[in-house]
Every structure is written in C-alpha cells, then in structure tokens.
Amino acid sequence: FEQKNLEFQQATDTTNLKLQFLQESFTAITQTDIDAVKNGSEMWGLLEKNVFQHTETLRERRIYFESNRAEIQKYAKENNLNTIDLNTAYTGTYNQNIIFKSYLKHVLFDNEEKMKSVNNSIIFEETNAPKNRFDRAVNENYNFDYTQTDAIQNNIDNNLDTRTQEALDRLSENITKKGIRVKKNAIMIVSDISNKKIIISQNGKIIDEISPIVFSKKGIGNKAGSQKTPTGSFIIKGRGKRALHRENNVTGYFLHMAGIENSNSNAYARGIGIHGMPTNDAGIANDGTTTHGCIGMTNENIQKLYNLMRGKQTFVETIK
C-alpha cells in the first residue's frame, strides 16, 4: 500500500485515508487489485466495489449490523437519530437503514481535518465529493434503499418462522442480483410446497396466508415438458382473466410467472403460473388433486389473491 501510495502524484490526505481504510477493513482486496489502480478515481472504484463486500445483501447487512449493534446504537443516540427500530432485529426498515448508512458514512469520512483538502482536488468536485459518491454507491450500485428492503418480513413482529424468513431473504437477494428495481408497495409471496400454503407480504407486513395450495404430483423440476413445479425466485409478468382449461384443472384467473434465476428462466415459456381450480378446499387438500407444474388454489382464493396484487409489482419465492 505504501509503495502504491507514492505513485499518486497528487496524493492528498483523503487518498491516504482511503488506503488506510482499505488496508484495515478489507482483507479480500489483494495486492494485485492495488497494483492495477492507476489514479485516485480508480481507487474510489475499488473502495466502492468493496465497501459493501460484507454488507451487499440483506443477510450480510443483518450480520454486520448485529455484530456492531452496541456501537451503532451509541452513534445513533449521540447524533439524535431515531433509535426506535434498533430495539428489534435488523430487517432493513427505513429507519434502520438511515441509521446504518449514517453510521457507515461516519466510519469512512468523519475526519474533518483530513477532508479539508477535498475541495481543492479535481476528482472531488461537488458531485464526486466523498459523501456523495458514497451515497451513489450505496443506493445505485448496491440497492441499499428502503424500497428494496421494507418488503422483507420482520420475523419478530410477524412471528415468521426461519424457513419463511430465509425464503424472503433469498428472494430479495435474487431480485437485487437481477437488477430489478422494487417498487414501493410491491407484493412478496412465499409459495411453500411442503406446507401447501402461500404467505403474502407487503411493506414488511404479513397481509394474508392462503391454504391449502396444490402443486404438481410429479414433483419438483425445471425441465420443459416435465409437468413438474419449478422452485426459486419469480416475478409475475401477466394476469390472465378467466382462463378456462378444465382438462388441465385451470379455471378462474391465471397469474403468469417468469423465472429470474438461470435455473428457472424457462418458467414463462413453460406456462407456469398461479391459477384457480374447479374444486373447493376439501378437493384441493385431497391427494388426488394436481397441477401440471403450476400453483393451484380454489377460484375463491385466486380471486382474493388477484385483488391483493392488482396494480402492484409482485414477486414469488417457491420453496420445497
């Protein structure tokens, strides 16, 4: 690090601070990474790439947040930040994220003496000021935004079991990896094959649960023509009204599912979706009722689900 730092012709205390932070905080950054850096801007790129190496996903942020909870709580109180959401586990609520981002920014940049040279540096124009670049890296590159995480369930307030919470975490991570922007009031659904139910959430709250649900009796799989139910993360891409295919046990509404993972990317082409069935709850619960790979429920329940999702972005995580 010292050798590379000498190569910066216009090195400032700010650059030294960045190098020091990288050296102390991110052991995964190799000497090869450092040697490839040619200027201050590239150093910022390296910093932004790695600053959330352990906080890029909701699960990783939760681990980091919980392991530093005492220090974060102290910082929040000293700076008169709203600490009400710090009394529960980290779930990515709006207030928790405000506190978390403020704390990380404090760790990185709160050394006014060393930052005085910023205004005299070409690479740190107003839009490139360290704190502004930090915010862009957080909100744009890593989707560290309350609209991305408010839909994640609070397993304390909602009494969520670990199985469902982990499913919602995976769904959030896959949405982020796919680069999909989650809209406010989006619907998140966990489709649980083993327990024959779906759990519906919105803005961090469980809003409904529907059971019993039926899946393919041929098992789980993604192969075209297999008539098996695919698992993983999906987005609802279309809502058919009154699809009637009684020979395939399809009645009522049909909600088309598109896979957002490589393993289930053919779901839409396979005609996978959520639909009504010509039976009642007793019939759905009967082992003889099946689908051709879809998620089936009574016409009454598909109507209820359709009304809940109407006009809203909707994602589904199907688990075994």
Asked whether residue 132 falls in the same domain as residue 250, the answer is: no
Asked whether residue 6 falls in the same domain as residue 51, the answer is: yes
Asked whether residue 48 falls in the same domain as residue 160, the answer is: no
As a three-state string, the secondary structure of the chain is CHHHHHCCCCCCHHHHHHHHHHHHHCCCCCHHHHHCCCCHHHHHHHHHHHCCCCCCCHHHHHHHHHHCHHHHHHHHHHCCCCCHHHHCCCCCCHHHHHHHHHHHHHHHHCCHHHHHHHHHCHHHCHHHCHHHHHHHHHHHHCCCCHHHHCCCCCCCCCCCCHHHHHHHHHHHHHHHHHCCCCCCCCEEEEEECCCCEEEEEECCEEEEEECCCECCCCCECCCCCCCCECCEEEEEEEEECCCCEHHHCEEEEEEEEEECCHHHCCHHHHCCEEEEECCCHHHHHCCCCCCCCCEEEEHHHHHHHHHHHCCCCEEEEEEC
> Residue 57's pLDDT is what?
63
Cα–Cα dist 86/109, whole Å: 23
Asked whether residue 142 falls in the same domain as residue 205, the answer is: no
Residue with tokens 């020091």: 20
Contact of 273 with 254, CB cutoff 8 Å: yes
Cα–Cα dist 239/28, whole Å: 45
> Residue 35's pLDDT is what?
55
> Residue 37's pLDDT is what?
53
Asked whether residue 105 falls in the same domain as residue 135, the answer is: yes
Domain boundary among 90, 117, 148: 148
Contacts of 41 (CB under 8 A, 6+ apart): 123
Q: Which domain holds residue 12?
A: 2-148
Beta bridge partners of 198: 191, 210
The total number of structural domains in the chain stands at 2
> Residue 91's pLDDT is what?
74
> Residue 285's pLDDT is what?
56
Residue 197: CATH number of its domain: 2.40.440.10
Asked whether residue 293 falls in the same domain as residue 218, the answer is: yes
Asked whether residue 188 falls in the same domain as residue 296, the answer is: yes
> Residue 176's pLDDT is what?
85
Domain boundary among 148, 167, 187: 148
Asked whether residue 166 falls in the same domain as residue 281, the answer is: yes
Cα–Cα dist 199/10, whole Å: 56
Cα–Cα dist 15/22, whole Å: 11
Asked whether residue 161 falls in the same domain as residue 279, the answer is: yes
Position 300, amino acid: E
Domain boundary among 148, 176, 194: 148
- Give the strands of the sheet with 232-240, arranged side by side: 205-210, 197-202, 187-192, 314-319, 232-240, 251-259, 273-277, 295-298
Asked whether residue 288 falls in the same domain as residue 161, the answer is: yes
Asked whether residue 115 falls in the same domain as residue 162, the answer is: no
Asked whether residue 142 falls in the same domain as residue 163, the answer is: no
pLDDT (tens place) for every residue of the chain, 320 residues total = 444 444 443 344 444 444 454 445 444 455 565 555 555 455 545 555 554 444 556 677 777 788 888 888 888 888 877 665 666 777 777 677 777 777 777 765 554 443 444 444 433 444 445 555 555 545 544 444 433 333 333 333 445 677 888 898 889 889 988 888 888 889 999 999 999 999 998 876 788 899 889 999 899 998 998 999 999 999 999 876 554 545 455 667 889 999 999 999 999 999 999 998 877 666 675 656 788 999 999 888 998 999 889 889 999 999 99
> Residue 228's pLDDT is what?
96
pTM confidence score: 0.53
